[in-house]
Structure 1
Amino acid sequence: MKIWTLLLLRISLGWLLVIWGADKVFNVEHGMAVANKFYFGFLAAESALQIAGILQVLLGLLVVFGAMRRWAYPLQLLLNGASLLAVAQSVIDPWGWVFSGSNALFYPSLIIMAASLLLIAFRDEDRLAVDNISR
């Protein structure tokens, strides 16, 4: 059961990166709005955002397949950590009782971060990852 759970977790987290990256590439206006609202305008230039999106898609695919995990998982953790920090007020106060503008829909960012840590913690037990199959 553990190998299938790790597979599902790896695929779902990696595919989330693919979706976020593709959004930057194909829906540039939305990506710019997100960059400006949550990331202080970081990468809020069309070409920079699209390059970042392509890199994010590639990282997501590495995670999906379990390739280069010693590098891909920490990079995933970094991106998911940045997302968590960007919406931290919604995680701390999801219903906006203290912070105005909070949104309960951002609370799963904490779960995504925890899942990213779990992938790292159980990396050696993921027998279905591409870079672990031959072991």
Structure 2
Amino acid sequence: MKTWTLLFLRVSLGWLLVIWGADKVFNVEHGMAVANKFYFGFLAAENALRVAGALQILVGLAVVVGFARRWTYPVQVLLNGASLLAVMQSVIDPWSWVFQGSNALFYPSLIIFAGSLLLIAYRDEDRLVLDRA
């Protein structure tokens, strides 16, 4: 059961990176709006956003298939950690009782980050991967 659960977690988290990366590549306007609203304009240039999106897709695909996990899992944690920090107000106060403009739909960012850490913690027990020795 653990083998299949780790596979499911890895595929779902990796595919999330692919989806977010593809959004940056193919829906640049949305990517720019997200960068400006949540990331202080970081990468809010079309070419930079497309390159970042393509790299994010590659990392996501590597996570999905379990390739270069010693490198891709920490990158995944950094990317998901940045997303968590960007919406932390909504994690702390999902119903806007304290912070204006919070959104309960961003709470899963905490769960995504926890799952990313879990993949690192159980990396040696994940069997259905490409880079297994």
TM-score normalised by length of structure 2: 0.99
Aligned twin of 2:116:
116
Which runs of 4 or more aligned residues in structure 1 lie more than 3 Å from their structure 2 counterparts after TM superposition?
A: none
Give unpaired runs (5+ residues) of structure 2: none
Q: Distance in 1 between matches of 2:106 and 2:71?
A: 26
Check if 1:12 corresponds to 2:42. no
Identity %, equivalent residues: 80
1:65 deviates by 0.3
RMSD: 0.4
Aligned twin of 2:75:
75
Aligned twin of 1:131:
131
TM-score normalised by length of structure 1: 0.98
Aligned twin of 2:97:
97
Q: Distance in 2 between matches of 1:24 and 1:55?
A: 10
1:56 deviates by 0.2
Deviations 1:79-130 (A, max 9, x none): 0000000000000000000000000000000000000000000000000011
Q: Distance in 2 between matches of 1:111 and 1:123?
A: 18
Q: Distance in 2 between matches of 1:87 and 1:31?
A: 16
Give unpaired runs (5+ residues) of structure 1: none
Check if 1:48 corresponds to 2:15. no
